[in-house]
Amino acid sequence: MIEREVIPVEPVYADDVAPFFKEKGVKEECECCGKKDWIIINNLFGIATLMCDDDLTAGFTPTIIVQCTNCGNMRLFNRAHLNLEKDKKL
Ligand SMILES: [Zn+2]
């Protein structure tokens, strides 16, 4: 039987993730250019994964991309790990 996972597709905004980032000590400064201006990219909902342990398995990781507006550096976060309020109702 194939397990099905609900994929969160509601857009994420800065106010949604700011408390989590603050709690976890995520640095505001871009590690590439030192600026503090970020946007959240909301048109990518996840990354396909192909795991090779004992067996080969395919999956999907819900993803949030935060991109530096100055240099384009992108940070990827596992959306499931952020435990967003808007995802709890799924
Ligand atoms: Zn940057």
3-state secondary structure the chain: CCCCCCCCCCCCCHHHHHHHHHHHCCCCCCCCCCCCCEEEECCCCEEEEEEECCCEEEEEEEEEEEEECCCCCEEEEEHHHHCCHHHHCC
- Find tokens 């590690």 and name the residue: 31
pLDDT at 8 (0 to 100): 61
Which pLDDT tens digits describe the chain residue by residue (90 residues)?
A: 556 666 667 889 999 999 999 999 999 999 999 999 999 998 877 888 888 888 888 888 889 999 999 999 999 999 989 888 878 876
pLDDT at 9 (0 to 100): 76
Distance from the CA of 51 to the center of ligand 1, in angstroms?
31
How much is the pTM?
A: 0.78
Q: Phi and psi of 72, rounded to 5°?
A: 85, 0
Distance from the CA of 29 to the center of ligand 1, in angstroms?
8
CA proximity to 72, closest of 27, 42, 43, 33:
33
Distance from the CA of 83 to the center of ligand 1, in angstroms?
26
Copy the structure tokens of residue 49: 């994964």
